[in-house]
Amino acid sequence: MGPDRGGAGQQLPWQGIQVGDPRCNRCSAGLSLDGRFAVLVDPEDPADVAARDRLLAHHGGMFFGGQRAAVLGPWIARAALRHPADVPVVLGVARRMLGRAGASGRCGGPGATGEPA
């Protein structure tokens, strides 16, 4: 297995959230559903890349790790109020990620992968 496969048993695209030098900093964020990992930002999907760029431009300083719901909830609400047009962008990222995980038939029906119905 190559360095980008690790214990996941599949390629893990890290370029979508690349930070720093790729020779030393490679990570992938997403979710695992029924043993299949779905990347948060697919670097091959122009909609994901555009969403990433938009959300980082508007919310790049937000850090979610280790935050309590009592803190995180108001942060997210304030961000949504500040940039309401970003809400459908976030929902589109979530739909595409769930579609890549194979959940489109379980939770969204037509358009669940972010593609037009």
In a domain, 1, yes or no: no
pLDDT greater than 60 at residue 5: no
Let me know how many helices (H) and strands (E) the chain has, helices first.
4, 2
Say if 50 falls within a structural domain: yes
**Which residues partner with 31 through β-bridges?**
38
- Asked if residue 24 belongs to a domain, the reply is yes
Q: Say how far apart CA 37 and CA 18 lie, in whole Å.
A: 18
DSSP labels, 4-35? TTGGGTS----GGG--S-TTT-----EEEETT
For the chain, the distance separating the N- and C-terminal CA atoms, rounded to the nearest angstrom, is 37
pLDDT, tens only, 71-109: 999 999 999 999 999 999 999 999 998 998 888 655 554
Q: What residues make up the domain containing 48?
A: 6-107
pTM recorded for the entire structure: 0.69
Q: Residue 107's pLDDT is what?
A: 52
Amino acid at 27: C
Q: Model confidence over 14-70: pLDDT tens digits? A: 777 766 777 777 777 778 888 788 888 888 899 999 999 999 899 887 877 788 989
6 pLDDT band, cuts 50/70/90, is low
Q: In sequence order, which residues have a C-beta less than 8 Å from that of residue 82 and are 6 or more positions away? A: 58
What pLDDT sits at residue 104?
65
In the chain, the number of structural domains is: 1
- H or E element at residue 37: strand 36-39
